[in-house]
Structure 1
Amino acid sequence: MRKILLSAIASIGLLSFTFNVLPIGAPMPKGDVKMKDITGKEVTLNDARNTNGILVMFSCNTCPFVIKNQQRTKDIASYLLSKNIGVALVNSNEAQRDNEDSFEAMKQYAKQQGYQWYYAVDKNSELADAFGATRTPECFLFNKEGKLVYHGAIDDNPGNEAEVNRKHLKEAIDEMLAGKEVSVTTSRSVGCTIKRKA
């Protein structure tokens, strides 16, 4: 009986963190939600958005896959900004806000990495819930109309940059800017789970 009860409790816990992933073509949600950025200012996704769209990436400070993808993140963020596409990195690890993903830790990490874009606190994982994001890093690319055109990983080998065959996100950016249909609209995000509060 105790085993069944524990199993039921575990299932309820899993169900509580099951979200509908934002479908391709959907408008960007929660664009006006105010978040604390590493600059100390209150910012929104609409503030980060530029004339050709925005990339929203769910990230953090300590996930091994975030770290493995850090140079790739910096490279693609710089590329996006050069194409008038805004960049917002969002930290939704609300359950780790007292330690590894505290605001102070975020500021230090961003300084070490030389971030030139938004890196904001997603309080109570509100944006992650709205997007259906579950991993770090996890990318959502929106076009100039604010519609989702790509969701997934930066490329096809998050664990080993030397063995990347296809740069999914960059391909999606280039196709979007050329006015083409994005050929690969989704890919599997690989990384650490977002640490939501129970």
Structure 2
Amino acid sequence: MSNRTERYQKLCLEESLSRIYQYPIACKELSFILRGAYANLPKPLQSLVFQHTLTAIRLLPEMQTGSAVAAAHFLLQSAEAAFPKQKKSLVVTEFKQAKVAHKRRSKAHREEKGPSQLPQDVLVHIFCLLDLQSLISAGLVCRSWTLAANDNHLWELQYTIFFGRSNNSSRTKTQWSGKSVNKDYTFWEENVITRTDIDWKETFKRAYGGDIAGIAT
């Protein structure tokens, strides 16, 4: 396995794409890779990036947040700029099908839950204002609130409030060498990229050293 492939796999993008609240981050990581490094990657790694791009597009119907849809659009634009004609055509076709499926699922979800149901990204934004006890209590209300209350960024915020900034912070240094996307993001040079493989709720639990469910009672 090449050094670049090994480092790419350490990003855990495929696993992150399947998690609702890590999906936007993983899509953006793929987008930056496509825009800044894809053309210079070895063929096996190009194939892996292409497969992960298709996976991201196909998972779009399962995502419930506006940020996920926006990230998927950004990924599509990056794919159109990076992939050769045949691969680009396949990605565009998959995206159109995924958008139709997403709209149908969103409509069915709204009809099932009723007009009072807030979008997931709105709930997450509201929950970021809660203290730990209130956040845990909110997560016990219903399935929709449970999903929002388990947002990875909310628990990173709680970790920072309780224990300070961790060495496992969601932005971490990684060694790469290559082409710059823009002045703020260089994928293959030493740069700052987003870690998508840290489960901050579990990290908080380990640091807290107790049953956090009891905090809500």
Per the normalisation by structure 2, the TM-score is: 0.25
* Greater radius of gyration (CA): 2
Structure number with higher relative contact order (C-alpha < 8 Å, ≥ 6 residues apart): 1
